[in-house]
Structure formats: C-alpha cells, structure tokens
Amino acid sequence: MPQEGSETLKLIRRSAAAEFAAKGFRNASLRAIVRNAGVTTGAFYGYFQSKEALFDALVREQAEYMTALLHKVGMTFSEIPKAEQPMQIGRFSSGYLMEMLDYAYENLGAFQLILRSSAGTRYESFPEQLAEIQLEIMHRFTDSLCESGYPVVRPDPCFERLIVRGMYASFFELIIHPVKKECAERCLRSLHTFYTEGWAGTVGLESGA
C-alpha cells in the first residue's frame, strides 16, 4: 500500500467525496472519480479494491467514533450510583449530545456523506444503529429506576422506538442542513428538553426527579 499521505491518494479522496456528495453512492461513477482525480485506474486500485472500499475509507473513522462515543456514554452512566441517576440524566444526556454535535460539525463532510449519500452501503442504516444503542441505554436506565423503587411505566416498544428514532432524525437534520454552530447548539438544547421531558412524562417520572 502506498503512503497514506501521498498526493495521489489525496486527489482520489477529494474527487470521490465530491462525486459521492453529488450523486450518492449508487450513482457515483468510479470512472468519473478516477478521471476527475487525474489519475489512472491502475493507480486507484493501488489504494482501493472497489468503490465500496473507497466510500468506507471516507467515513469509517467518523462513524466508528460516533458509535463508540454512544457506547461509552451508556457505560459511564451505568457507573453512576442508581440512586443518583434520576438527578443526573438531564445534565448527562445534554452533555453527550453536545459532544456528538461538536464532533459532527468538525467532520461535517463525512457525516453528510453518511446521511445523504450512503444508500447501498452498510452506512445507510447508521441513524437507526445509533437509535438502537440509545434504546439499550434507556432500557438500562428504566431497569435501574425500577430497582430503585420508582413507580415508572415501561413504554410500548413500538412507541419507544418511534420516539428515539425521531430524536436522532431531528438531531441529524442539523447535520444534513447545517446552520451556524451557535444556532445548532440552541436547537439541540431545545430538542433535548423536548425529548427528555416528554420521555419522563411518558414513563411517569417527574422532570428533575
């Protein structure tokens, strides 16, 4: 494999990002990517085995980081004493959502490819994958509330999944159609309040309990 920092590789990646962004993965032309990069097909295959491998190289690091961050959030929250979790959930969840937003804005090109151009790749279900991790975190929190004696109501699974997917769909609207960072942060704080208090009401947990 040639050096990662080679000019040829940079040209291929730049050309590919533009082609995928304009046409989506399925309609993107490998021939056009090579031509616009000003390299030969042989040079391309010196770096990547396929168009799929090229798309993966553009977004894998960012997708894995975001997924790992959410898993870490779940583990960290579970280490908070159960009796303190209800008082901590609002601040804690607001913090990690802002961290996710910061990272997404720092890597806007990659996440726009994931969210707008990934149909036909393993990344097209990325928002749903995050939602499933979020559901696991919520289930552990609900179990903890029950064990601590809170008379919570377990939501209908279909409704619960609808709410969580809706939250992530709203979150990713800030990435698909980016606004100034300050505006995005205000929107996210309002979104967090809306979903946190709505979920608390659904399970019968008083806000700020």
Dihedral class, residue 81 (left if φ above 0, else alpha if ψ from -120 to 50, else beta): beta
Tens of pLDDT, residue by residue, the chain (209 residues):
444 448 999 999 999 999 999 999 999 999 999 999 999 999 999 999 999 999 999 999 999 999 999 998 888 877 777 777 777 777 777 788 999 999 999 999 999 999 999 999 999 999 999 999 999 988 888 888 788 787 888 888 898 899 899 999 999 999 999 999 999 999 999 998 898 888 878 877 764 44
Q: Topology of domain 1-49, per CATH?
A: Arc Repressor Mutant, subunit A (1.10.10)
Contact 123, 60 (CB under 8 A): no
Whole-model pTM over 0.85: yes
Containing 62, the helix (H) or strand (E) segment is helix 51-78
- What's at 188, amino acid-wise? L
The predicted pLDDT at position 69 comes to 92
Containing 186, the helix (H) or strand (E) segment is helix 181-203
